[in-house]
Chains A and B, each alone.
Chain A
């Protein structure tokens, strides 16, 4: 079943066609890779899906519902979470607070009951904290829950960003170059971790990734973008031998 359908997505920036008539579907439960050379339009596509950038034309369908014109916070509420290529944590907030911020959506207590501390609000707050700590535990950061995020190492910040995205309780998780800046060992661990969260939370994952072995090993299907156009789509082995893909990466022979 298709969870997300991208239909004829096009985005122009002035004279540049950043994304050009791209269509594909992401099926529920799969790990879907988005690869392509630098400037191919991968991050722009993420920005289109999350509502940060409005499309020039084209449609987005998520769980059989058009989400093309929704605002970012509405799309997030529907269960699409993402991380960033250049990590964007709230540096002055603690690790725990970073995670709690995205649980904001799922806590019901209003502006006033939160201040007064009604029993319902307090119960909700306790539960949110407990869940947040569990997520931090999972990414092995629970011992530093009260440390501001900016003092974390690069790898820790990446994991915290994933924990924060998971706190949104998403069904679709978009990871923008999750392995950037990691060594081979960390990349292997990350591969296992992505599988683990997919299974544990019943997620569908779309990831942008440059590290080819990781993509081939991890992804069920792969889409290849080049100059904003979709040039190949399919299982890793098929994509790997596609002549258009080889040309895009290695140049014409």
Chain B
């Protein structure tokens, strides 16, 4: 393996892994607060990509209610990314209000919330199909005048990477860094961690847990939407079911890293991202097999995941 190939594996691995990580963190945030997997997360991911696409002012497809339409304005990519993420976050907040809170208030079994989130996911996917049609979408060139690839080495020993991959890796890392600071060093972050550990006690200390649950869903949808856009940039939006396969990958990331662990989701994302990119181009069909084989092996050795804690039962 030559240097350039190795370098590309790392850049692509970081880009893929970074997106996996931020996507999986959306699951982790909700899981750590409510103890359930929010299956609607993959649908919100899909929506994020469509929202950003729309905000860029691009034309919609030939099917669906919005056929051939476009927004009367087009935003620059950073603004469209942010706008798409905010809209995705607001959808996630709606999901909480409609699919989770009513059940939570009645003290329903967590399994029921899992099922209702699955229902919301199906509904969102169908709404997307109704609005945007079932065809794939390709993002317009958002790089402007930038070259499609850059050489980070010297002309003698080239280290070439696709600009889009660098952008994806960069945005993912920035999001990861911001989220880490937010959760560990701000008051709201501390409150979030307190609610994650013991919501009842947190409420007795004056923390409005309902508001923090909403915030958690917003954050989860926000980063899910960013992940959707980034994947869309890399491979295009493959259709309304775009997020479903990705959702499975996200689940394997959090289980690999350790359910409910934030560093675990990041590590799991990077491990699977780099693992997938180690598959040679001529065997690209085995990418997913590698991801799930990694998961399988780790679970054999460490059932709690890479950074998961074994549950300590309090007596």
Identify the A interface with B (CB < 8 A).
50, 52, 71-73, 76-77, 81-82, 84, 88, 90-93, 97, 100-102, 104-105, 107, 109, 111, 114-115, 125, 128, 164, 168
Contact = CB atoms under 8 A, between A and B. Distances in A.
A180 to B, nearest CB: 14
B204 A72 contact: yes
Interface stretch (B44-52, B99-107, B195-203, B276-284): B195-203
B253 interface: no
B205 interface: yes
B209 interface: yes
Report, nearest first, the 9 A-B pairs whose CB atoms are least far apart.
A76-B206, A105-B206, A102-B205, A72-B203, A114-B186, A101-B194, A88-B201, A90-B197, A73-B203
A97 B187 contact: no
B215 interface: yes
A76 B188 contact: no
B206 A77 contact: yes
Contact of A104 (B182, B197, B201, B206): B206
B238 interface: no
A115 B186 contact: yes
Contact of B208 (A73, A102, A125, A168): A73
A232 B147 CA distance: 85
Contact of B197 (A82, A91, A100): A91
B304 to A, nearest CB: 15
Nearest to A164: B205
Nearest to B192: A101
Interface in B186-245: 186-188, 190-191, 193-194, 197-198, 200-209, 215
Contacts of B205: 73, 76, 81, 101-102, 104-105, 164, 168
A93 B193 contact: yes
B182 A71 contact: no
Interface of B: 178, 181-182, 186-188, 190-191, 193-194, 197-198, 200-209, 215
28 contacts: A71-B203, A72-B200, A72-B204, A73-B204, A73-B207, A73-B209, A76-B204, A77-B206, A81-B204, A84-B201, A88-B201, A90-B193, A90-B198, A90-B202, A91-B197, A93-B193, A93-B197, A100-B187, A104-B190, A105-B206, A105-B207, A114-B186, A114-B187, A114-B188, A115-B178, A115-B181, A128-B187, A168-B205
Given A90-B193, A101-B205, A102-B206, A107 B200 contact: no
- Chain B's interface: helix, strand, loop or mixed, by majority? helix
Contact of A92 (B197, B200, B209): B197
A76 B203 contact: yes
Given A90-B197, A90-B201, A115-B182, A97 B206 contact: no
Contacts of A82: 204
Contacts of B208: 71, 73
A177 to B, nearest CB: 16
Given A115-B182, A125-B187, A101 B204 contact: no
Nearest to A161: B201
A100 B190 contact: yes
Contacts of B206: 73, 76-77, 102, 104-105, 168
A146 B215 CA distance: 27
B190 A50 contact: no
B93 to A, nearest CB: 14
